[in-house]
Structure 1
Amino acid sequence: MTTTLPFGTWPSPITAEQMASGGTRLGGAQLVGDEIWWTEGIATEGGRIAIVRSTGSGAEGAAPEVVLPAPYNARSRVHEYGGSAWTAVPAGFGDHGDADDHDSHEPPLVLFVDFASQRVHSLVPGHEPHPLTPVGPEVPSAHGPSLRWACPTPVTLEDGTREVWWICEDHTGGADGPRTDADGAPHVERYIAAVPLDGSAAEDPAAIRRVTPASRFVAAPALSPDGTRLAWISWEHPQMPWDGTLLHVAPLIDGQAGTGEIVAGATDVSVLQPAWLDEDTLLYLADDSGWWTPQRWSAEDGARPVLPGGSPHAEREFAGSLWMLGTIWMHVLDADRVLVQHGRDADALGVLTVSTGVVTDLDQPLTLISSIAVGEGGLLVIGGASPTAFPALHTARLTLDPAPALSPLQVLRSSRQDAPDPAALPAGESIEVPLAGGGVVHAIVYRPRQDGFAGQDGELPPFIARVHGGPTSHVPPVLSLPVAYYTSRGLGVVEVNYGGSTGHGRAYRDRLKGQWGVVDVQDTVAVMEHLVSAGIADGARLAIEGGSAGGWTTLACLTRTDTFAAGVSSFGVAELESFRSDTHDFESRYIDGLVGPYPERRDLYVERAPLSHVDELECPVLLLQGDEDRIVPPSQSEMFRDALAAKGIPHAYLLFEGEQHGFRQSATIIRATEAALSFYGQVLGFTPLDVPVLDLDRG
């Protein structure tokens, strides 16, 4: 029997409390001895990231054992977005290369970055952590610790010495103290450094050895198997890592590398993730063909592509945007075979035979692959999600001969132990919407769905456009509880991968160059107009929401078009001049490529800003913001709030204490989720069930 109710009023089994406390933020796994370790975000403990390990029970959903005790939080602030912040090495690692002499039953040594202090710590499970890096000097412009660390990389040098290298983000300005660059910005530099494991550097910064010269940005250190050569990537302002990077290869002499030879990359070629196949051959990913694809380099043959002409995989992305340091897209299996991720709308997994350039795709159900760990005997631990399953860690066995094959995936740990009834979950439909000037925009449509409920005769559903952040990012077709929260209540959702998104080649990414606030707006509006013309959405009840750069697009759509009746901006960018100076170093020149150089194109900075067009805004807005956000500071939301109040536009501004860029605390997630639903109900004309009424300031 089907119950007919207005769209938006359907009773739903999916609650904000479930979204806040029922889900677990899972990090990538590592194989530690014969155990599987990973990280989990604990919302009930302020969102701290704990290192955990499998109990060995093998039961799906079995609670893992916590290795990292509270209040320690394994999270890096390098680039503010962080990246890999921990590793584990065998007992005795670094003891002059004699780790193999230690009892194999001794617990491993855990190395991690603690979020509060950003100091590297060592931990023997069951004991108290000890710091390995010093407290950096106070530098006010750093807005937090002046020394930060990420991407621990265990290495073995040519003489057999074992060390752990880290990427250091240094706000101190060097020996002469804090200083500014030619453009007036605080000087920040990054380099690869060896941190002693004996704790000697905790009080003596001189005990830390710089391995590479400083650059504005560095990533992906890879030491050759014989310990003689180091490869890494670097880039400088105003490039972002998806714009252009340089691949260095340098001999390692007395534990240090010079600038080395630049073997690939340019300001308009993005090179990512170097990995050695053997002592002489380096594999990496580059987009000089228009797609991130595998390339190889050797001193004898130079650089050349791996995929042959006409390869069916030539127009696939084998990498993505490097927002998080330590992101890995390929894993060397032996000197000729590599496990690779590739895709367009969705991720796929395959084995690349380098000598032939042939990719053998593996049968598996995931459409988003977030992490892979490779262990002995072909054991894989794969993090990912699919259109029918929430993010989870899975185990599988990879066999290579006679042909690559993958065993069925087994769930090790799901992000949700309380997954809703499939009857309340939506099905995504990938669409391509033609654009008036040629080309298409990619999107995923989720129509309202809950078995047993339907809208009233003649009624079309309200639809919410969700625009991702970045803006160089990508939303794949996967099961999403925030989406299901809306669709199970009778609201439609469309995820828009506007021009600038990854997954569709360099030309699609470059559509946003100089056009931020134009192309993203036009693409989003084109998708909504398509849904209305196709009779899928109610054109009078369209809303939009997004966070960070998605918040910018939300505000730009609201102020520059009359398409939407309501919008929710979470920590969104509202104007560009103060944002450029207030935001963190990683993105401080990002806008040069998205809008134009400053101050030469100050006119565009002013003209594009949603704050400049509040007079053209007629619809209500909800602003959500964390008070400790360093990426998009609260001032951005507050300037927009003040402009809304001055014009008398209904609005609400919720500032959440202790939250950074993205909400992690249970109480915050509940409040923000319910506030958005109440807001949409008030503006779009429906009465949602079981959520507090949000008070709007009506001027």
Structure 2
Amino acid sequence: MSHAPYGSWPSPVDAALVAAHDGHPEALGAVGEEVWWTAPRPAEGGRRALLRLRPDAPAPVSVLPAPWNVRNRVHEYGGQPWAGAARETGGPLVVFTDAGDQRLYALEPDLDTAPRPLTPVSAVGGGLRWCDPLVLPERGEAWCVLEEFTGDGPGDVRRLLAAVPLDGSAAEDRSAVRELTDDAHRFVTGPRLSPDGTRLAWLVWDHPRMPWDGTELLVAEVDAAGRPGPPRTMLGGPGESVAQVEWAEDGTLLALSDRAGFWQPYRLDPDIGEAVQLCDRREEFAGALWKVGFRWMVPLPHGTLAVLHGLGTARLAVLDPDRGELADAVGPWTEWWPSLAACGERVVGIAAGPERDYEVVALDTATGHCRVLAEHHTDRVDPGYLPRPEPRVFTGPEGREIHAQIHRPRHPELTGPPDSAPPFVIWAHGGPTGSAPLVLDLEIAYFTSRGIGVAEVNYGGSTGYGRAYRERLRGRWGVVDVEDCAAVARALVAEGGAAPGRLAIRGGSAGGYTAAASLSDPATADLYAAGTISYPLLDLAGWASDGTHDLESHYLESLIGPLAEVPERYRERSPAYRAERIVAPFVLLQGLDDVVCPPEQAEALLAAVAGRGVPHAYLSFAGEGHGFRRAATVERALEAELALYARAFGFDRNDLAPLDLAAGREAR
């Protein structure tokens, strides 16, 4: 191995490669024996394609050409955008939402006809949005979640379950949409119809709760005309989160609830509501319900269940509910996306591992054998350029555990100078109620293959470790997350694994807040030599006062406290109001179409640091929202971040586009 300064190593993992493979398959489902899912297309404006894999086909096909974009904006983050039903003649009938106009469309791919609109366009506010459909050809309807804006404000909205005619009669007529429920609750999940069609189940919650705080499982009787009656609450409440509900073949309910401190599976009798725990493991069988339609559990024939479970991971297993026993699927996958489906005796899902991209994988429950169906992993570069992640548990303030994943620099031909340690970037994930999965990530390899380490910190408040760990952040956002990230950084330095004075912090969305809060906190401002802040939240009070979308508009009441009661806390923890403490150079990245963390948030920090002599650059991207999808955006953002570290850590590169940290602005 030759020696070369950390950060200067040549690497085939360039920004174009990362951008070309940004994102992964999602929204998987079964249509009879066929498997369908959506996949990213960064080079095509960031759209999501809809793919179809027939049982006898060697490869999937895209059923919709560009510019069709199978995605919706329910809750702004979107929900399950499609569903289908197999038919005896004419092939499958699929309904989907398109990102362009947010309408629901019908698609009959075997009839070679163009998609037919099923719902109208509304000019009021955010319009009409649909997600998590249930296709019912025998009823001539698709039952969905409807998000309907009634005004121009982010809170001028109602949500309910609705039935959309499949004949297109509602394509220009909102009144032809049949409302299945009222809008008594602020948020609803998709409909789940019992096997005999006589009962409907769904989940609801209300402000100020988020779905991981408390939800309710409702059940209503459905009459012969398809009209649900008054609902009954079967499970859940303000302090209990029910993340998913399904019907078993025998007509009982299956639910994932955290009433015992972890999301675990339960069976309920819909007549009396008695809940029986099916597997008493102190593990998580679900996660944060950021998107309507996530599925961590799916019923299988013969009464077993396919489930995802683990602590900090999500492994696939088959659960025998009578014995409470799990049989884990065998394979190299450590993380399964919450998008399980059943195809007869097979369980199909989307899985990845530390050395594998997300793939479409099928488990044959009769044999226990797993095989990749599509989206096969291929080594984009020599695996010697990829890091080998190390799951770690660090000790933080008050002796609390901090979970993290350490990705050390790795190169097949180079190592750093003798008796030296590499620079490290601390990554704070978004959410903040979320986590960093233990999977192959070319964006991480972009840095590690150049000699820069990455530490992903699942700070207190993260999912995957039980409700108590998740609730460490209650009232302490901007404190616990900042302390935990700093504790990991300092521990790496103390171990000799990271160079003192050559640490940076980065994050997007809530992680962008943590990064900015860390740069402006007196206890940590001197710890970091640089920071990358992407589509962040920076002015807490402004964000909580109609400064964001409806889903998260009350989120800070739990993370910070009620604004009317602790206004000083909102100001003290806002990076925009303590910018005088920032001394490290930073890059600020922002999508101009972001409605979750609007550009005004970034502009507030820019105004606060103006004239203070802190080197910084602002890159804004037209056409991008909350999170970047276009290949050109991902490339520019990565190269700007690396250019920042080159300056802050003191290494030379001649393969980067110029980044003027003195100018403070670079519009895109």
Is 1:153 aligned to 2:143, yes or no?
A: no
**Counterparts of 1:235-274 in structure 2 under 5 Å?**
235-253=205-223, 254-274=225-245
Residues 697 and 136 (structure 1), Cα distance of their counterparts in 2 relative to 1, 3 Å cut:
same
**Structure 2 CA distance for aligned equivalents of residues 88 and 224 of structure 1:** 17
The total of aligned residue pairs comes to: 656
Is 1:168 aligned to 2:146, yes or no?
A: yes
Of the candidates 274, 293, 311, which is equivalent to residue 326 of structure 1? 293
Partner of 1:407: 369
Residues 546 and 664 (structure 1), Cα distance of their counterparts in 2 relative to 1, 3 Å cut:
same
**Counterparts of 1:75-474 in structure 2 under 5 Å?**
75-90=71-86, 100=88, 103=89, 106-125=90-109, 126-139=112-125, 145-155=126-136, 161=139, 163-172=141-150, 178=151, 186-214=155-183, 215-253=185-223, 254-299=225-270, 302-307=273-278, 311=280, 314-334=281-301, 336-399=303-366, 406-414=368-376, 417=378, 419-474=380-435
Q: CA deviation at 1:109?
A: 2.5
Residues 412 and 468 (structure 1), Cα distance of their counterparts in 2 relative to 1, 3 Å cut:
same
**Structure 2 CA distance for aligned equivalents of residues 387 and 677 of structure 1:** 23
Per-residue CA deviation, residues 402-437 of structure 1 (Å, 9 max, x unaligned), is: xxx5203225213x6552211101001111111231
Q: CA deviation at 1:30?
A: 2.8
Partner of 2:34: 35
Q: Is the 8 A contact 2:77 2:290 kept in 1?
A: yes
**Structure 2 CA distance for aligned equivalents of residues 262 and 231 of structure 1:** 10
Give the aligned residue type for 1:676: E
Q: CA deviation at 1:442?
A: 0.4
Q: What's the % identity of the aligned pairs?
A: 43
Per-residue CA deviation, residues 125-162 of structure 1 (Å, 9 max, x unaligned), is: 333222111111423xxxxx321111011248xxx635
Partner of 1:675: helix, strand, or coil?
helix
Give the aligned residue type for 1:354: P
Q: CA deviation at 1:438?
A: 2.3
**Counterparts of 1:477-492 in structure 2 under 5 Å?**
477-492=438-453
Q: Is the 8 A contact 2:21 2:42 kept in 1?
A: no
Partner of 1:582: helix, strand, or coil?
coil
**Counterparts of 1:36-55 in structure 2 under 5 Å?**
36-54=35-53
Partner of 2:421: helix, strand, or coil?
coil
**Structure 2 CA distance for aligned equivalents of residues 374 and 698 of structure 1:** 51
Q: Is the 8 A contact 2:243 2:257 kept in 1?
A: yes
Of the candidates 609, 615, 622, which is equivalent to residue 644 of structure 1? 609
**Structure 1 CA distance for aligned equivalents of residues 253 and 607 of structure 2:** 54
Partner of 1:95: none
Partner of 1:660: 625
Residues 155 and 274 (structure 1), Cα distance of their counterparts in 2 relative to 1, 3 Å cut:
farther
**Structure 2 CA distance for aligned equivalents of residues 476 and 117 of structure 1:** 32
Partner of 2:568: 603
Per-residue CA deviation, residues 430-460 of structure 1 (Å, 9 max, x unaligned), is: 1111123122110000111011101012221
Residues 668 and 533 (structure 1), Cα distance of their counterparts in 2 relative to 1, 3 Å cut:
same
Give the aligned residue type for 2:120: P
Partner of 1:529: 490
**Structure 1 CA distance for aligned equivalents of residues 263 and 657 of structure 2:** 47
TM-score normalized by the length of structure 2:
0.94
**Structure 1 CA distance for aligned equivalents of residues 25 and 612 of structure 2:** 43
TM-score normalized by the length of structure 1:
0.90
Partner of 1:578: 542
Partner of 1:96: none
Give the CA RMSD over aligned residues.
1.9
Q: CA deviation at 1:686?
A: 0.8
Q: CA deviation at 1:362?
A: 2.6
Gaps (5+ residues) in structure 1? 92-99, 140-144, 173-177, 400-404
Q: Is the 8 A contact 1:441 1:523 kept in 2?
A: yes
**Structure 2 CA distance for aligned equivalents of residues 375 and 281 of structure 1:** 18
Q: Is the 8 A contact 2:75 2:549 kept in 1?
A: yes
Q: Is the 8 A contact 1:210 1:256 kept in 2?
A: no
Q: CA deviation at 1:485?
A: 0.6
Is 1:74 aligned to 2:74, yes or no?
A: no
Is 1:556 aligned to 2:521, yes or no?
A: no
Q: CA deviation at 1:556?
A: 0.3
Q: CA deviation at 1:640?
A: 0.8
Give the aligned residue type for 1:169: E
Q: Is the 8 A contact 1:213 1:258 kept in 2?
A: no
Residues 186 and 30 (structure 1), Cα distance of their counterparts in 2 relative to 1, 3 Å cut:
closer
Q: CA deviation at 1:466?
A: 0.7
Residues 189 and 259 (structure 1), Cα distance of their counterparts in 2 relative to 1, 3 Å cut:
farther
Q: CA deviation at 1:23?
A: 4.8
Give the aligned residue type for 2:475: G
